[in-house]
Structure 1
Amino acid sequence: CRECGKAFRWSSRLAHHQRSHTGERPYKCPECPKAFKGSSALLYHQRGHTGERPYQCPECPQAFKGSSALHYHQRGHTGERPYRCPACPKAFKNSSSLRRHRHTH
């Protein structure tokens, strides 16, 4: 990237990254005024309009718009807490919960 020096293996990734500098959002939602830097973000957003939730939990009836939401949800079933606090024994299902917790130390 000429703007910040970050390197990318694929030109499509570079183009997507450069939009963070230019503010360009070429992927427009046909249902509302929102626009996005990438096609995958638009697709995820459109699922909010259609109600599509293609990622079904195998343990319960819950379904999700994105695979990461399903993955996070499944940790509730398994008890997995991969984000460990280095200052105490606590562990969390996601990195944002760990970040929030670390401010308590």
Structure 2
Amino acid sequence: MREKSFQCNESGKAFNCSSLLKKCQIIHLGEKKYKCDICGKVFNQKRYLAYHHRCHTGEKPYKCNQCGKTFSYKSSLVIHKAIHTGEKPHKCNECGKVFNQKAYLASHHRLHTGEKPYKCEECDKVFSR
């Protein structure tokens, strides 16, 4: 195993080659050199541009083996699969209600806290979701 002699001053992460250190540093600098030629959005890594490009092309390379539904992102497929298994790994500590997505739990939790982070620009009314 190679020694990780390239260390990032920002994050403290160490790498065994300078190119990985450079990628880490680009993230911290906010340097975005990969631009979408369709909408102009910019990204700091080429792979993120490739992922983004799918929203323009409609490409959905990830397919559910159970129902055939397709997804643009692997993470979306993973979340979708919980529908078939019934898995709900995210539990509210307040009331015990369970959710299949972390975002749903976060939204639910605002019912307990009373937090209302969303505001209507027209009437200034605030909402929890």
TM-score, normalization: structure 2? 0.66
1:85 equivalent in alignment to 2:120: yes
* 1:18-71 deviation per Cα after TM superposition (whole angstroms, max 9, x unaligned): 111111100110111100000110011100011111111111121111111110
Return the alpha-carbon distance in structure 2 between the equivalents of residues 84 and 92 of structure 1: 6
Identity in percent: 48
- Structure 2, unmatched stretches of 5+, are 1-35
By how many angstroms is 1:84 displaced? 2.7
Residue in 1 that maps onto 2:83 = 48
Higher relative contact order (CA 8 A, sep 6+): 1
Return the alpha-carbon distance in structure 2 between the equivalents of residues 71 and 20 of structure 1: 26
Q: Over the residues paired in the alignment, what is the CA RMSD in angstroms?
A: 1.5
By how many angstroms is 1:4 displaced? 2.1
2:107 is aligned with what amino acid? Y
| DSSP 3-state at the match of 1:44 | helix
Greater gyration radius: 2
The answer to which structure has the higher strand fraction is: 2
By how many angstroms is 1:16 displaced? 1.3
1:11 is aligned with what amino acid? K
2:116 is aligned with what amino acid? R
